[in-house]
Structures are given as C-alpha cells and as structure tokens.
Amino acid sequence: MSTQIRIALDAMGGDHGPSVVIPGAAKALERRPEMEFLLVGDEARIAPLLAQHPALKARSTILHTNVSVSMDEKPSQALRRTRRASSMWMALDAVKTGRADVAISAGNTGALMAMATICLRTMAGIDRPALACMWPTARGRSIVLDVGATIGADAQHYVDLAMMGSAMARIVLGVARPTVGLLNVGVEEIKGIEEVKAAGRMLREANHPALQYQGFVEGDDIGKGTVDVVVTEGFTGNIALKTAEGTAKQLGEVLRGAMSAGLMSKIGYLFARGAFRTLRDKMDPRNVNGAVFLGLDGVVIKSHGGTDALGFSNAIGIGFDTVRHQLLGQIRESLAQSDDGRIAVTAGMDARA
C-alpha cells in the first residue's frame, strides 16, 4: 500500500456541506500529513473555501458534480434520482476504482448504506453490512455494532458482527485480543431471544483466538465499558445510540442550568470548572465522530450530519487509521478464523450426537 492514503470526501454531504468538510479536512491534514484528498462536489462552492487552506489545496483534487443527496431523501429515491451523478456515489466509486482508499460522508445514512452496498458489494461470506461506532465509556472507549445498518439478525450474523467488531477494536483501540459481549436483557444464559442465545453458544464453544467472548452484557454495561466490543442488531443498537445521545444532551442542559441558578452556584462552578471541562470533553460526541461500515469490500466512514469541522476531522482520522492498519485484511482474517471455528464446533456437536 502506498504511504500516501487517498481519501474521497463527499463534500456536499451533511447539514453544512463544504463549509464543514473543507476546514475539517484541513484540520485532519495538520495531524496526518500523509493524506491526499479527492473532494467530490460543486467546484464553485468548494474552490473558494479550499483557497483559504493552501496546504490542503496542495494535497487535493476536486471532482466536480452539482448533484447531491438531501438529508431527508429516501434511499430508494436517491438511487433512482441521482445514482452515479451524486457526490455520494462518486466518492464511493472512487474507492471501487482504486482512485481513493476510503470514502467519507456526513450525508444521508440510509442512502449511503444503500449506495455503498450496491457500489462496493459485501465481502465474501457477509450478507449484510453493519455500522460500528465509537462509544465513550467510564474506562475509555468501546465499539458498538450494529447501530442502524440492518434490522434483525440470526445467530451467524451476530457471530460475524463479533468478528468484524473485534478486528476494528484491534485497530482503533489497540487491543490485541478484544473482549466481546452480546447485548441482552440479562447476563444469565437462559435469558434473551433464541438467536442471541445461539450466538452466545457458538462464540463460547469456538473460543476464537481473535477475541475473548465474555458472555451477555446489559444496557448499562455499554457506558461502563465492561467489554471492548458490544454486539447487537441494528434496531436495538440505533435505539441505544439515540438514547445515549439524548441523555448526554439532557445532562449538559441540566448542568448548565444548575450552574447558573444563583450566585453560590456560579462561585461553585469557578472552583469546579476543571472537572466540568473534563466531563465535557469526555462526553463530546465530536471526539468519537465517525462510524465505520463493516462488511463491505471497501472502507466507508459515516460522519454525523450535524457535526462541525473538529468532528469531521476526527471521522477522517478514523478513516485514515482503518486504511493504514488494513482493516479489510484483518476482517477477512477474522472471518476465516470464524469459519474454521464453526467447522470445529459443528464437528464436535456431530461427534457428541
């Protein structure tokens, strides 16, 4: 792989488009000068912003299109209306054709998933992609997947999610053998739906060298950081994600109100502002912005649509790291180990029968 990592940016995606994407790319380049950018979108809007960042301009190429996918557009409509002409599709196609190593978009999540699946296809052995996000915890950070790519899962899909999530954890968390838990309504093995219980048995009996299966975890274990990787299906994962985002926002509003309630509260804030600053940074969603579509035959990062330049730069950073540490290769290796483990478990079950 070239020492230069080429990043295709959907410059028109998200709530703010180029006004966030361009300064976000400039911030990311300051941290990682090995990057080159393909900026996909309306050149008339991109070029004036790019001129304000000479270092970024020297490392960027503009791929013009004035077609973009709106944030409220249905995926089916986006595919029919824009398809290959949109900035989102063209960024993904750059990965498919080898012009870029990773595509990053803050645009419509459903459209991005649909286009990425059609354009890049899934890896061999993977039926459906998953969306994995970083999650701030009491111990640092964890990975949670799936947080909304696909709804529902059978036992094998849960196992595949565990393998893909553990590969990502080795890269972004730096853990050699990540701990993995299946999200459930209780930690007892008799609880939960049959698919989750079956997946638990498969993971426990396989004893994969790529991960340490810890068993079932509950909702409060996500924030505790009980395991490095929390596995669930997209319906439950998305609800958990939105609940956590809402709770963090509510907590911030309550604290701001309490600190301005009276003179003594304001004085107390002056003494405690260091602690509050630490809490703010810990809970700041911009610091963990950037979800990874796992299971695709190419690297795609989804940034939060409403983020600012700092948040978008962090999404670029995740894209850079996944390419530099060869995430796709690690996932393929993990899935191969999963296949070997499944064969061994099946053989053992047959022998016992």
Q: For 303-313, what is each residue's pLDDT tens digit?
A: 998 899 999 99
pLDDT confidence tier of residue 185, bands split at 50, 70 and 90: very high
Cβ neighbours of 115 (radius 10 Å) = 28
If asked whether residues 211 and 232 sit together in one domain, one would say yes
The boundaries of the domain holding residue 218 are: 127-289+326-353
- Sheet of strand 179-183: strand arrangement: 60-64, 35-41, 5-10, 102-105, 299-302, 291-294, 130-137, 140-145, 229-231, 179-183, 212-217
User: Which residues, 6 or more positions from 153, have their beta carbon under 8 angstroms from its beta carbon?
Assistant: 146, 161, 195, 233
Least confident of 157-166, 232-241, 284-293: 284-293
- What is the band of 265 on the pLDDT scale with cuts at 50, 70, 90? low
pLDDT mean over 230-252:
85
Same domain assignment for residues 93 and 193: no
HSE value, Cβ hemisphere, 13 Å, CA-based, for 37: 31
* Number of separate domains in the chain: 2
Q: Are residues 196 and 345 in the same domain?
A: yes
Give the whole-angstrom CA distance, residue 8 versus residue 92.
8
> Does one domain contain both 88 and 191?
no
Residue 249 within a domain: yes
Are both 67 and 153 inside the same structural domain? no
Is the CB of residue 143 less than 8 Å from the CB of residue 172? yes
pLDDT over 70, % of the chain: 86
Over the Cα atoms of the chain, what is R_g?
A: 21
Read off the pLDDT of each residue in 171-184 and give the average, rounded to a whole number: 92
pLDDT-above-90 percentage for the chain: 57
Does some domain include residue 22? yes
Q: Report the pLDDT averaged over residues 205-232.
A: 92
On whether residue 192 sits in a domain, the answer given is yes
User: Sorting pLDDT into bands at 50, 70 and 90, what band is 349?
Assistant: very low
Q: Is residue 139 part of a domain?
A: yes
Give the end of a domain, one of 120, 136, 167. 120
pLDDT for residue 167 is more than 70? yes
Which of 176-190, 237-251, 276-290 has the highest mean predicted lDDT (pLDDT)? 176-190
What tokens were used for 136?
């701030």
- For residue 78, the Cα-to-chain-centroid distance in whole angstroms is 22
Task: Provide mean pLDDT across the span 262-267.
Answer: 68
Q: Are residues 176 and 109 part of one domain?
A: no
pLDDT recorded at residue 257: 72
Task: Identify the weakest region by mean pLDDT among 1-15, 177-191, 217-231, 241-255.
Answer: 241-255
Last residue in a domain, options 105, 120, 135: 120
Per the domain annotation, does 313 fall within a domain? no
Q: What value does the mean pLDDT of the chain take?
A: 86
CATH code of residue 65: 3.40.718.10
Residue pointed to by tokens 């022998």: 351
Strands 212-217 and 130-137: unpaired
Residues 146 and 236 grouped into a single domain: yes
Are 112 and 146 in a shared domain?
no
Q: Is residue 33 located within the same domain as residue 3?
A: yes
Does the structure show a pLDDT above 80 at 191? yes
**What's the confidence (pLDDT) of residue 82?**
63
Task: Indicate the burial class of 87 (C-beta count within 10 angstroms; 0-12, 13-18, 19 or more).
Answer: buried
Q: Which pLDDT belongs to residue 335?
A: 80
The verdict on residue 42 lying in a domain is yes
Nearest-10 Cα torsion for 302, 184, 154, 158: 50
In this structure, are 90 and 140 located in the same domain? no
Q: Establish if 206 belongs to a structural domain.
A: yes
At residue 270 the predicted structure's pLDDT band, cuts being 50, 70 and 90, is low
Asked if the model's pLDDT at residue 73 lies above 80, the reply is: yes
- Identity at 204, one-letter amino acid code: R
Whether residues 178 and 273 fall in one domain: yes
- Mean pLDDT of all residues in 38-45: 96
pLDDT on residue 76: 83
pLDDT at 344 over 50: no
Q: Are residues 12 and 50 in the same domain?
A: yes
Which of 120, 138, 166 terminates a domain? The answer is 120
Average pLDDT value for residue range 86-110:
95
Residues 248 and 135: beta-carbon distance below 8 Å: no
Helix axes 18-31, 43-50, angle to 10 degrees: 40
Task: Give pLDDT, residue 86.
Answer: 92
Confidence band, pLDDT 50/70/90 cuts, at residue 138 = confident
Question: Alpha-carbon distance 167 to 158, whole Å?
Answer: 14
pLDDT at residue 2, as a whole number: 47
Can you list the alpha helix ranges (DSSP code H) found in the chain? 18-31, 43-50, 54-58, 75-81, 87-96, 109-120, 155-172, 194-206, 219-224, 234-259, 263-283, 309-324, 327-352
* Residue 251 counted as domain residue: yes
